[in-house]
Amino acid sequence: MKKYQLNLSKIDLTRLSYKKITIPLAFLILASLSYYAPERSQQIKLTSSYPATVCPAIGDKVSSIAALTSSKINRRLIDGTSKRLNPGKSSVIVIKEDAILVEGNPGTSLTFANNSWKAVVPCSISNGEQWFIGGSGGLTSKSFLYISNSGFSESVVDIEIFTPNGLLEPREVSIAQNSTKKIAIDSLIPGEEAIAVAIKTKSGRVSSYLFDERKKGLKLLGADFVAPVAIARKSVTIPAITGLLDKLVTNSNSVTHTLRLLVPSTIDASIDVTVNSNDGNFIPIGLSQLEVKSQRVVSIPLTFAPTSQPFSVIVESDQPIFASVLSNFIFNKSAEIAWATGADELKKWSVNLTGSRPILNFVGERIDVQISATGINGKKITNKVTGTNFVTWRAPTGLNRLEVTASKGGISGGVIFLPEVGKIGTSYLPMNNGANLETASEPISDARVISRG
C-alpha cells in the first residue's frame, strides 16, 4: 500500500513539472508570433489630399478670371485635349471659353465674372450631389447650367428640377470626357420663375454651376452665380446679405429681398426664420412655425429686412431644408441681382480677392475669428473679430490674399461685394471651401506576411 502511494506521488510530481514547462513555453511562442506578425498599421497607410476643383467659364465674351491663392498651383484647361496639370506664372488666370481644373490645395479658388454686373463663385468639385436653390426659367431669364467633366471617361448625371408645383421627372444627361456641357435653364423648364435644381452624379466626377442672368430685350437686368450646396440641413445660415450702404442710399436706388425654400424629402416642414443684424435678431410676424410643403419651391418676400445695413437669415426646420435669398437692386435705374446661399461651419478659409474691397459677415452664438489679409498696397492687415450672434467687418482697402480662421465652432461667414467706383456690380459669397480634405487607405506590401505551402 505504501509503495502504491509513493508511485502516485511521483506521477503527480511529473505532471506538475510538465505544466510548469509547457505553460511558459506556450506564452513564449505566442509572444514571438505577435512580435514578428505585421501590425495593421504596418499593412495599411492612410494618405490625405485635397481633390482638384473646377473654375467655370461663362464664355459669350464675358470677362472672367480664376483667382488662385498661389501662383505655384498647377492648372489645366478642360477642353477635350489637355491632360496634364501645368505650373503657372500668376495666381490670376483669364478664362475664355473653357473651364479650368485647379490642382487640389488647402485654399479656395474663386471665379469672378464682370459685365455691367458682378458674379463670384467658389471653384468646387461635386461629392455626388450639388443643389442650386435659385435661378429661373422665366421670360427674362438667360440662365445656364454648366456641367464640367474633368475626367477622361464619360460621366452621367441626373438633373432634378423642383418648381412651386413639385418635382419634375429627372432628366439623364451624359457629359463627354474632359469637357463642359452648357444647358439653357429655359429649355428645361420654360416660363417657370422660381426653381431649384439638383445635379446627382451617376458616374464620373463632375462640377456643376448655375449662372443666373436676366435680360429684357437688350436691357441687362443683372446676373450672379447661384453657389452650389451639398446637403440639406435642419438649420441653414445665410450669413451675407445687404441693404444699401453709405453713398448707395439715394432716392434712385432700391433693394428688395426674397427668401427661397425647398424641402427635398417627402415630409412637410415647420420652420422659423430669424433675421440677424447689428440691431439685434428677431423672428418676423408670420415666419414662426410656418408650414412648408415638401418638394415644392416656396418664395417669401422679406419686406421686413433691414434696408441700410448688412444682415443674415437663419432658417430652423424640423426637416432638412435648403434656403437662399435673392436680392434685386436698382442702381441709378440700372438693375442687378445677387444670390445669397447657405454657409458651412467656418474653420479656415483662404482666398484671393484680386483687389476687391469686401464686407465680411459672421454669424454664431460666440464669434471669435482671426482675419489675416494683404492689401492692394502690399501692407499686412490683421484683425480679431469677436461678438455674439452677428458681426460685420469692413475691409479698409482692397484686398488680395485673405485668410479667415475661426477659433470656436458654430460660426459661419459670408462676403458681400458692393459696387466699386463707376460700376454697379454686386455679389454674395459664402465662406465655403471648394474642396475638403479626403483620406484614403493604401496597402503596404510586406514579405513577412507571405506564407509558402
Each residue's pLDDT tens digit, 223-262: 999 999 999 999 999 999 999 999 899 999 999 999 999 9
pLDDT at residue 3 in the model:
43
* Residue with the three cell numbers 505551402: 453
Give me the mean pLDDT over the 263-271 stretch: 97
**116 and 139 assigned to the same domain:** yes
Share of the chain above pLDDT 90, in %: 78
92-95 vs 110-114, strand pairing mode: unpaired
**61 and 185 assigned to the same domain:** yes
Q: Using 50, 70 and 90 to split pLDDT, how confident is the model at 435?
A: confident
Give me the mean pLDDT over the 34-63 stretch: 72
pLDDT at residue 418 in the model:
94
Give me the mean pLDDT over the 150-158 stretch: 96
Task: Single out the residue of 418, 249, 258, 257 nearest to residue 332, CA to CA.
Answer: 249
Residue 339 and residue 336: Cα distance in Å, rounded? 11
CA 64 to centroid of chain Cα atoms: 20
Give me the mean pLDDT over the 265-287 stretch: 95
Please name the residues in contact with 451: beta carbons below 8 A apart, sequence gap of 6 or more.
none
**176 and 105 assigned to the same domain:** yes
| Contact assessment for residue 215 and residue 144, using Cβ atoms and an 8 Å cutoff | no
Asked whether residue 185 is domain-assigned, the answer is yes
**24 and 124 assigned to the same domain:** no
**162 and 221 assigned to the same domain:** yes
Give me the mean pLDDT over the 365-393 stretch: 97
pLDDT at residue 420 in the model:
77
Q: Using 50, 70 and 90 to split pLDDT, how confident is the model at 14?
A: very low
**14 and 33 assigned to the same domain:** yes
Q: Using 50, 70 and 90 to split pLDDT, how confident is the model at 324?
A: very high
The last residue of a domain, from among 230, 261, 288? 230
Give me the mean pLDDT over the 332-351 stretch: 96
Asked whether residue 149 is domain-assigned, the answer is yes
Please name the residues in contact with 309: beta carbons below 8 A apart, sequence gap of 6 or more.
242, 243, 245, 277, 278, 279, 392
Asked whether residue 158 is domain-assigned, the answer is yes
Rounded mean pLDDT of the chain? Answer: 89
Asked whether residue 291 is domain-assigned, the answer is no
**214 and 94 assigned to the same domain:** yes
CA distances from 172 to 159, 204, 208, 350, 367 (A): 6, 14, 14, 35, 43
| Contact assessment for residue 372 and residue 380, using Cβ atoms and an 8 Å cutoff | yes
Q: What value, to the nearest 5°, has the Cα angle with vertex 17 and ends 11 and 21?
A: 145
Asked whether residue 136 is domain-assigned, the answer is yes
Q: Which residue has the higher pLDDT, 398 or 435?
A: 398
The last residue of a domain, from among 230, 257, 284? 230
Q: What's the CATH code of the domain at 197?
A: 2.60.290.11
Q: Which domain holds residue 105?
A: 47-230
Task: Single out the residue of 72, 78, 101, 76 nearest to residue 86, CA to CA.
Answer: 76
pLDDT at residue 350 in the model:
97
Q: Is 25 a residue whose pLDDT tops 60?
A: no
Asked whether residue 428 is domain-assigned, the answer is no
C-alpha cell at 219: 436691357
Asked whether residue 133 is domain-assigned, the answer is yes
Residue 124 and residue 108: Cα distance in Å, rounded? 8
**130 and 83 assigned to the same domain:** yes
Please name the residues in contact with 215: beta carbons below 8 A apart, sequence gap of 6 or more.
140, 142, 221
| Contact assessment for residue 425 and residue 114, using Cβ atoms and an 8 Å cutoff | yes
Question: Which run of H or E residues covers position 405?
Answer: strand 399-406
3-state SS track over 295-333: CCCEEEECCCCCCCCEEEEEEEEEEEEEEEEEEEEEECC
Q: What tens digit of pLDDT does each residue of 95-110 get?
A: 999 999 999 999 999 9
**62 and 176 assigned to the same domain:** yes
Asked whether residue 446 is domain-assigned, the answer is no
Q: Is 21 a residue whose pLDDT tops 90?
A: no
**94 and 194 assigned to the same domain:** yes
pLDDT at residue 63 in the model:
78
Q: Is 424 a residue whose pLDDT tops 90?
A: no
Give me the mean pLDDT over the 58-68 stretch: 87
Q: Which amino acid is residue 322, in one-letter code?
A: F
Q: Is 220 a residue whose pLDDT tops 80?
A: yes
**173 and 102 assigned to the same domain:** yes
Half-sphere exposure of 276 (CA within 13 A, CB side): 21
Q: Is 11 a residue whose pLDDT tops 80?
A: no
Return the SS3 of 342.
coil
**Which residue intervals of 37-173 are DSSP H helices?**
40-43
Q: What tens digit of pLDDT does each residue of 279-297 get?
A: 999 999 999 999 999 999 9
Return the SS3 of 145.
strand
The last residue of a domain, from among 181, 198, 230? 230
Q: Is 13 a residue whose pLDDT tops 50?
A: no
**96 and 15 assigned to the same domain:** no
Q: What tens digit of pLDDT does each residue of 162-211 get?
A: 999 999 999 999 999 999 999 999 999 999 999 999 999 999 989 999 99
Question: Which run of H or E residues covers position 45?
Answer: strand 44-49
Q: How many domains does the chain have?
A: 2
| Contact assessment for residue 270 and residue 306, using Cβ atoms and an 8 Å cutoff | no
pLDDT at residue 179 in the model:
97
